[in-house]
């Protein structure tokens, strides 16, 4: 039996979450805070293109099971991306 699984993590910077000297680029307009991502993103590529998400990490893994034992396993991409937001 072949079993696939995957998970996607999305990162953003909420308004007011940066303090101290790290806040300077935000104050100067060199970067910005992000709106929270939606609970479900149907098209990650489109979200990257339109700048609505800052960072994505996609993890995929699989196992092959025979007689209740894992006989093979692996993981794969496409990985993730870090982009600029709007």
pLDDT at 80: 63
Q: How many domains, in total, are found in the chain? A: 1
Secondary element (H or E) of residue 65? strand 55-66
Average pLDDT over residues 6-28: 88
DSSP alpha helices (H): ranges in the chain? 24-27, 44-49
**Within 10 A of 54 (CB to CB), how many other CB atoms are there?**
21
Query: In this model, does residue 82 exceed pLDDT 80?
Result: no
Range of the domain at 68: 2-82
Q: Hey, CA dihedral for 15, 80, 46, 42, is it positive or negative?
A: negative
From residue 82, give the alpha-carbon distance in Å to each of 4, 21, 51, 54: 25, 23, 10, 6
DSSP alpha helices (H): ranges in 2-85? 24-27, 44-49
Query: In this model, does residue 56 exceed pLDDT 90?
Result: no
Task: Decide: helix, strand or coil at residue 18.
Answer: coil
pLDDT at 1: 97
Global confidence as pTM: 0.61
pLDDT band at 63 (very low <50, low <70, confident <90, very high): very high
């Amino acid at each position: 039996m072949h079993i696939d699984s995957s998970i996607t993590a999305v990162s953003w910077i909420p308004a007011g979450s940066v303090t101290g000297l790290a806040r300077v680029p935000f104050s100067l307009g060199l970067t910005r805070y992000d709106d929270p991502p939606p609970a479900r993103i149907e098209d990650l590529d489109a979200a990257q293109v339109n700048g609505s998400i800052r960072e994505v990490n996609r993890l995929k893994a699989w196992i092959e099971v025979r007689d209740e034992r894992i006989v093979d396993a692996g993981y794969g991409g496409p990985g993730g991306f870090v982009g600029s937001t709007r």
